Amino acid sequence: MQANDFFNQPVFRRIATILWQRYYVNERFGQTLGKKQLEQVDQEPLYRMLGLTLIEWQTKKSLNIHAFANALEASSFQMDLTEFVELMAEPLVTRTTVVAQEQEAYTHFLNELDQVNPQFVKLLSEKQLKEWFKQKDLTVFQIVQAGLEQLPKTYTRMPVYAYDVTKNPHAFDEGQPAGRLLLQMLAGISGLQFSELTTIEEKNQLLNHFYLLKDDSKNAVAIRGLQATVGGRPHRLWQAACDEHCSWNVPLKEILRVDTIKPAKGRHVLVVENSGVYSILLEQLPDLAIVCSSGQFTYAVIVLLRKLVESQTTLLYVGDMDPEGLVMAQKLLNLSPQYGRIVGMNEKNYHQFKTETDADLSIRLKQLRQIKDGNLKRIAQEIIDTRKIASQEGFIPELIEEVQLLLEATK
């Protein structure tokens, strides 16, 4: 019988594993091994090998490692303890040795990165470097280095940029290793910590700083009545849309290209959550600049609103009085505490137009923890108490009246 056949029993495998772990940590096997560590396995093959009866084995509290080693050497296999452990577990190694080997390999990795570009070691944090070290592949660094050498000078869509660099339009997608490393390096170049980029807006702002655009053609926002300037001169396309009272979808790329954005008339812009309500208000409020957020604050919407705030434009926001609508209203107030104002979304309209909803609000109500504004918090509590919502379609006349009175008062 071969040694590995004889010792291929759970009790011997368990002993070998314990002894291997001890040697790894302490560089020795120890004197005894408590029997409690062997409770889950059949111990008969062990005490029989030791030449003990069950009664004799039961009187012992532990396995004497020296006696076990002697039994191994006295067996027909004439095996020492080290040979046994390596046969049933794996080759012995100490933690000190492993740490030294890993440090040597890590140092070699850093030296290789220096050959690609010293900036990687300089700009990436030690935590980031050690995470990349685990990948054991420098290809991603070579790809990103090529990308850094070819950063655009004018706004370029990410897929186009990625294709120009790698012939793969998805190489720098955020879910890809090269996309993540590129963001880390751009953050380092900008003096930021990658961990600070916690929102989509922050990541897009970083990319935009290097003239890189994500989904700029699809990331658009519907507007009416907004003017823009470039180099101190009116942008003719924006001006023409105002002259024709035209509602149009302006892409993120075009929003980024202009210097300033402001209403063609007055100092107010109405930001509407729902596209259907937006269409109605275009007719009912023909002289008011209006923006449609289409149910969410995309990056295009955020950039547009920021430029409006920079021109000291007051942002009037209206949305559904449901968890999502209240959260968006709070986000607008967070975006511009000085120039943000909520219209239509008040307790009076909520009580008058609240209705049952078929959707389960249980999970959605957790979003209301984000609400800080006092008026919105009172509506949020009503929603929690009643499990009812009020859609903006219900209070359009009341909204129009409120907006018209506000505009009259601010003339």
- DSSP string of 252-317, one letter each residue: HHHHHH-SEEEESSSSEEEEES-HHHHHHHHHHSTTSEEEE-TTS--HHHHHHHHHHHHTTPEEEE
> H or E stretch including 178?
helix 177-189
Residue 265 has pLDDT above 70, yes or no: yes
User: In the structure, how many helices (H) and strands (E) does the chain have?
Assistant: 21, 13
- The answer on 156 and 45 residing in a single domain is no
- The answer on 379 and 329 residing in a single domain is yes
User: Where among 178, 213, 248 does a domain terminate?
Assistant: 213
Residues spanned by the domain of 12: 3-93
- The answer on 52 and 86 residing in a single domain is yes
User: Where among 154, 186, 213 does a domain terminate?
Assistant: 213
Residue 161 in any domain: the answer is yes
Residue 370 has pLDDT above 90, yes or no: no
* Mean local confidence (pLDDT), 11-25: 94
- The answer on 275 and 202 residing in a single domain is no
* Mean local confidence (pLDDT), 198-213: 76
- The answer on 291 and 164 residing in a single domain is no
- The answer on 247 and 299 residing in a single domain is yes
- The answer on 131 and 63 residing in a single domain is no
Per-residue model confidence as pLDDT tens digits over 80-113? 999 999 999 999 999 999 989 899 999 999 999 9
* 344 pLDDT tier (thresholds 50, 70, 90): very high
d(CA 124, CA 126): 7
84 φ, ψ (degrees, to nearest 5) = -60, -50
- The answer on 146 and 77 residing in a single domain is no
- The answer on 303 and 169 residing in a single domain is no
Give the chain's domain count: 3
Residue 192 has pLDDT above 80, yes or no: no
In this prediction the pTM is: 0.60
* 200 pLDDT tier (thresholds 50, 70, 90): low
Residue 385 in any domain: the answer is yes
- The answer on 400 and 297 residing in a single domain is yes
Residue 150 in any domain: the answer is yes
Amino acid 24: pLDDT: 93
Amino acid 46: pLDDT: 93
User: Where among 213, 237, 259 does a domain terminate?
Assistant: 213
Amino acid 390: pLDDT: 93
Residue 358 in any domain: the answer is yes
- The answer on 351 and 252 residing in a single domain is yes
* Mean local confidence (pLDDT), 292-314: 89
Residue 27 has pLDDT above 70, yes or no: yes
- The answer on 58 and 30 residing in a single domain is yes
